[in-house]
Every structure is written in structure tokens, then in C-alpha cells.
A and B are shown apart, each in its own frame.
Chain A
Amino acid sequence: MQQDMGGNRLVAVLELTNISKHFGAIQAVNDVSLSIEPGQVVGLMGDNGAGKSTLVKMIAGNFHPSHGTMRMDDKELILNKPAEARQHGIEIVHQDLALCNNLTAAANVYLGRELRRGVGPFRILDYAAMYKRAGQLFAELKSETRPRDLVKQMSGGQRQAVAIARTMLSQAKIVLMDEPTAAISVRQVAEVLNLIRHLRDQGIAVVLISHRMPDVFDVADRVIVMRRGRKVADKAIASSSPEEVTGLITGAIEQVS
């Protein structure tokens, strides 16, 4: 059972218990337990092949765990496909953002859950409502993205805002972000970190998968480090340091409690 620094039990939005995943003989994730509280930003770090992506894909409904259980709001969570994860309030910002360049920002935000008006089978797309709500979301995110702009003409930061606005459409409880700062300029990184803080301020839990130490130490409350499929650290950012985390990632430090 997870406890915070003071030893109090917190109500976890997501709790994984002894989760393992193997592909044939390869043990991708090995006996990982963790819990994530609402309004918390958790940095998930580890070298390539450490098991971060596999872990995230199980939470996203892409893979079934081989062993262990997932619980959400104290109910067992069994996901057969990504759409079910979304129904449970788990939203994912994919590394490639999953945006359609030929569509507008608003169309991308609403992709797969377009708003319509009309009666019965005679329902048409409600452009006005989608532009309006998308515009509000961008304003909430303090982004300069405009709903009618085509995504192909946008900067990396604006594209991130579109992908993140998508997660705010429904009442998301937890947002998983896969390397959101990997391919964008320094100025845009600050923009994305601000977007993450906005999500946190609304009580949404954010799992930030990243290679970039400064980003995690800037925005995360807690850091989880994985190495070779195992969780080797899970501690508050305040009580850790980049040097320690680097040591944990490379294996220079075996494990911390």
C-alpha cells in the first residue's frame, strides 16, 4: 500500500499492484506496484527498454498485464481496448500527438467525439459549438492556438496544446503524456510544462514519461524510476536530486526505498 511522506494513506486515483508483463521469454515489466493521487504530477523515468512504455500501454488499454491488478477509485480496472480506458477517464497524449495535419485545431480536439446538432438520424456537425469550446480550452491552457487554424501550420508547442486540449474534453482523471517535450524547442518546452501545471491545478493526475531530467524536476511532484522492468525508486522530487535519479537510471545506484 502506498503512503505519502508523512505515512498517511491517500485516496489513489490509480493503483497498480504487482503488475508484470512478459512477451514470451522477455520480462518487460516485473512486479511493479505504484499509486497515483489526484492533482499530482508523477515523472516516470528510465532508460530505453526499462519498461516505461509497456507500463503506460497497460494503463492505456493497449496491453493486458500478465500478472497483477489495476484499481481505479478503488474498483478493479480491466481494459480490453484504448476506448475503454478513455471511458474510465484515462487520457493519453501520444508521443507523435496523433494529430491530423489536414484538419483544423478544433476538428482535431473533437476527433472521434464530434459534436452534432439536429434530431434523430438527421444530425449535422455543430461547427460553432466545437469552435467555441475548443477556443475556451485553448484559452484555459493559455495557448495562442486558434480553433480554425490548420494543424499543419502550427508550431510544436501549439500542436501540444491541441493534443492536451483533447484530454480536457471529458472529465479526465489521469493524463498520461509520452515524451511531450522530446521534439520541441526550448521556449515551447516551457509552454508545455505550463500546460501540465494547468492540468494539475484542475485536480487531474499527470504521468509524465520523459528522458529530460530538467523537465521532470521542474514540474513533477514525485519521480518513479524504472530499470530493466523493475521499479527502483519512487520518491518525492524534493527529497531526490538529478544526480541520484541519473544513478538510478544507469544502475550506478541499485535501489532506494
Chain B
Amino acid sequence: MAVTLDQTIAQRQHTFLSRLFSTQTFWVVIAVILACIFLSFATDAFATSKNLYNITRNITFVAIVALGMTFVIITGGIDLSVGSVLCLSSMVLAVTMHAGYSIEIGILASIATALAIGAFNGILTAYLGFPPFVVTLGMLSIARSLAMVASNNTVVFQFGPDHDKLLALGGGAWVFGIANPVLYMILLALITGFILRWTKFGRHIFAIGGNEHAATLTGVPVKQIKVAVYMISALSAGIAGIIQTGWLGAVTTNLGTGMELQVIAATVIGGANLAGGVGTAFGAIVGAALIEVIRNSLGLLGINAFWQGTFIGGAILLAVLFDRIRNFRRSD
């Protein structure tokens, strides 16, 4: 035989370039770059350091939650409760610190709350067979209501003895003048990417999204992993909530309202498939970036802000359309 075993093993279906061009994430990156170039020429306000600082920081909150959402969406699930969980985590942090506790205890309480909610979502979905759409829709309502109960529906803007520490954590720029939330986002994206590509857990997440029945038959602990992904999603919402609290310096009970839509949009635009089995950390970030650039540019170009939803919705449909076109070509 002319082909050796090593050659067969090394054989790839696509070259690096053809694989790159076939990913949705790549084309979204191109779209973001083109939009940025266009806006730099079309407006004076876009390419200023202040605006870029704003954009990068605005991307982060959606992006961090989108990283967590990516895990859930790869398994073929969905988490609609992230916006409310973000609000509740922020409120738990705010109320705890307002009562005079340290920032460490505040963050601990906030993270524990998020994890407990994630575990609740996951257990109902994995062990009791509830559709994740229904479980997390219920939690969307419950978590926001609990946030209102916790704060008596007031605005909290005094965070006790560690007030300044919290504001520095979210609002500072400790390294090279890059906003802290951006650094957290990059760190979390690297961790997410590592987990998805290099761990057994990551591999099993893709397997569940690809064929849950097959994963069960081959001994993958499907139920435990499902609980874990909902906990990760809630955790990412909790982390985003803590950072956002520090950045805003105040928490209201309408924080994160409607955020689930932006987060799911970011993951889908970035190339994740709602049917499961596909998704990347980088895609989640890029998707969040495209949404923010669209939002920012509408303002700069003087287009009425009411059009925002139309453009973001259009971007979602366009992203899915490209996916469909690729699939049509493949089935020919």
C-alpha cells in the first residue's frame, strides 16, 4: 500500500484555510472588522480611545454570560434565567455588603446563590426531565422576584466598609489602562476555551449535544454533566453581576432585564448551534462584539435607538441563514 498508517492518521479533511473559511465565527470577525473600519471613516467619534474603551467594556458583560451560555447551548439546552440570576447575584452582593459584611463574604454569598440556582435548574432538567426552556423561564421570574424581595425593590448604592474595593474591582483599570471587566472576560474566555478543547468534561459536553442517547449508552455521566453546565451558566451570570455592580456603583432590580436575549444572540451569532453539539468560547466573544458594535454605531450614525432591536434581530437571522446555506450546499 502506498499510504502508510501514519499518513492516514495525520490525514485531515480540510486544510487550515478551508476550515477557517467554513466557520461562521470567521465571517463574524470579518463583519466586526469591516464595521469598525467603516465607522472610523464615517464618524469622528468612533475611533476615539474613549469610545473604544466604552465598547470593549460594554461587550464584557454580555460576553462573560455568553461564555457560560455556550456550555449549555452545546449540550442542546438553553438558559433563559441568566438576566435575572445576574440581577439576584448583584443584589445579594449589594445587600450583604450594605449590611456591613466584607467584600469577600459578599462575593461568596453572591456566587453561592448563583450556583444554587444553577443546580436547581440543572437537577430539574436532568433528573426530572423538565424541558430546560420551561425550567429556566420559571427561574427568570423567580430570581428577579427574589432580588426584589431581598432589596425591598430599592436601589442599593452604599456597599458598607469595602465600598471602594468593590468599585475598584469593577470600575478600575489595573493593567495598561485596559478596563478590568475586559481582563476578566479574556481570562474567562481562555478558561472556557481550554475546558471545551482539552478536558474530558468538555468532550462529553459536545457528545451530549451531538447525540445524548449515544452518550448515555457509552457511559458518559449525562445527568451530572447537565447539572454542571447549568451551574456554570448561572456562575457566569453571577460573576458578570458582581463585576457590573462594581462598575455601575449601584444595583437596581431591573438590572439585566432582557439580557438573556442578547446573550443567546451573541452565542448564536458567534456560531453556536441551538440544536446542540457546536459552539466555541471565541465565538461567544465575537458574537457579543458584533452586537455591541451594531448598538454603538446606530448611536454614532444618528439612527433612532428604537431601531436597535431590528438590527440585532436581523443579525441573528442572518447568522442562522448562513448556517442553513452551508448545510444546503453540504447536502447537495
Contact = CB atoms under 8 A, between A and B. Distances in A.
A131 B219 contact: no
Interface string A162-190: 00001000000000000000000000000
B203 A113 contact: no
Given A107-B203, A124-B199, A98 B218 contact: yes
A77 B197 CA distance: 39
A256 interface: no
Interface string B212-243: 01110111100000000000000000000000
B194 to A, nearest CB: 8
A82 interface: yes
A101 B5 CA distance: 24
A136 interface: yes
B5 A99 contact: no
Contacts of B50: none
A112 B213 contact: no
Contacts of B220: 111-112
B218 A112 contact: yes
A101 B210 CA distance: 6
A132 interface: yes
A132 B218 contact: no
B219 A113 contact: yes
A139 B200 contact: no
Contacts of A98: 211, 213-214, 217-218
A103 interface: yes
Interface centre among A102, A116, A166 (most CB of B within 10 A): A102
Interface stretch (A41-49, A148-156, A215-223): A148-156
Contact of B210 (A102, A136, A149): A102
A99 B217 CA distance: 10
Nearest to B220: A112
A125 B199 contact: yes
B209 interface: yes
B13 interface: yes
B126 to A, nearest CB: 17
A254 interface: no
Interface in A74-122: 82-83, 86, 92, 94, 96-103, 107, 111-114, 116
Contacts of B11: 146, 148-149
A165 B204 CA distance: 19
A102 B278 contact: yes
Given A103-B206, A111-B220, A124-B198, A135 B9 contact: yes
A147 interface: yes
A83 B204 CA distance: 16
A146 B11 CA distance: 7
A138 B3 CA distance: 14
Given A98-B213, A100-B211, A148 B219 contact: no
Contacts of A135: 5, 8-9
Contact of A125 (B8, B198, B211, B278): B198
Contacts of A107: 203, 207
Contact of A102 (B8, B198, B204, B277): B277
Contacts of B277: 100-102
A83 to B, nearest CB: 5
Contact of B215 (A111, A134, A148): A111
B74 to A, nearest CB: 9
Interface in B232-282: 277-278
A114 B211 contact: no
A219 B71 CA distance: 45
Interface in B162-221: 197-200, 203-204, 206-207, 209-211, 213-215, 217-220
B200 A125 contact: yes
B12 interface: yes
Interface centre among B5, B10, B209, B217 (most CB of A within 10 A): B217
A105 to B, nearest CB: 11
Nearest to A126: B198
A99 B210 CA distance: 8
A83 B200 CA distance: 18
A101 B211 contact: yes
Nearest to A111: B218
Interface centre among B12, B197, B210 (most CB of A within 10 A): B210
A96 B200 contact: no
B180 to A, nearest CB: 28
A44 B5 CA distance: 36
A86 B9 contact: no
A254 to B, nearest CB: 37
Interface of B: 5, 8-13, 197-200, 203-204, 206-207, 209-211, 213-215, 217-220, 277-278
| 6 tightest Cβ-Cβ pairs between the two chains A and B | A100-B210, A135-B9, A102-B277, A98-B214, A112-B218, A102-B210
14 contacts: A98-B213, A100-B207, A100-B214, A101-B210, A111-B218, A114-B200, A125-B197, A125-B198, A135-B8, A135-B9, A139-B5, A148-B10, A148-B13, A153-B13
Given A116-B200, A166-B218, 10 more contacts: A86-B219, A103-B207, A103-B210, A111-B203, A123-B200, A125-B197, A125-B199, A131-B9, A148-B13, A149-B13
